[in-house]
Amino acid sequence: MRVVQTNISRNRRKGTLRGMHLQAEPHAEAKVVQCVRGRIYDVAVDLRQESPTYRRWAAIELAEKGEQLLYIPKGCAHGFLTLEDNSDIVYLMDNPFVPHAALGVRWNDPAFGIQWPGQPVEISERDATYLDFAGRVA
């Protein structure tokens, strides 16, 4: 993976939910995610129709004291829930962010059945209002 952009997400409150985000082709991006402060529950959903794991999700707890990173392939949506106050996440991406290519799916869409460790206490309006998946990215 050739890194062309690095971002940081600062999250003040435990229970902040971000996601589920991805970018449309030809701007799709692979990501490497690391929690550098605090602790998060990190989730990826496979939205690649040709994939044997299509519409399945995987999750891992990432923490500043851990030595784990999460690689998210192109075509997978990504999101997380903070498990501690003041949780910071660093993203390494192989494509730059393109605002008009930004897509998302609903964090609690029954099509995926993601088992979150708690309910969000803070979520952006954009993330809270993504539509159900219904077989395509909304």
Question: What is d(CA 118, CA 112) in angstroms, rounded to the nearest whole number?
Answer: 16
What lies within 8 Å, CB to CB, of 15 at 6+ separation is 81, 82, 118, 119, 120, 121, 122
Question: What is d(CA 120, CA 83) in angstroms, rounded to the nearest whole number?
Answer: 10
DSSP string for residues in 51-112? STTTT-EEEEEEETTS---EEE-TTEEEEEEESSSSEEEEEEESS---GGGEEE--TT-TTT
Question: What is d(CA 22, CA 98) in angstroms, rounded to the nearest whole number?
Answer: 10
Active site residue 100: no
The tokens describing 92, both together, are 């390494």
The active-site residue, picked from 41, 78, 91, 130, is 91
Active site residue 91: yes
The active-site residue, picked from 21, 41, 78, 130, is 21
- List the catalytic residues: 21, 91
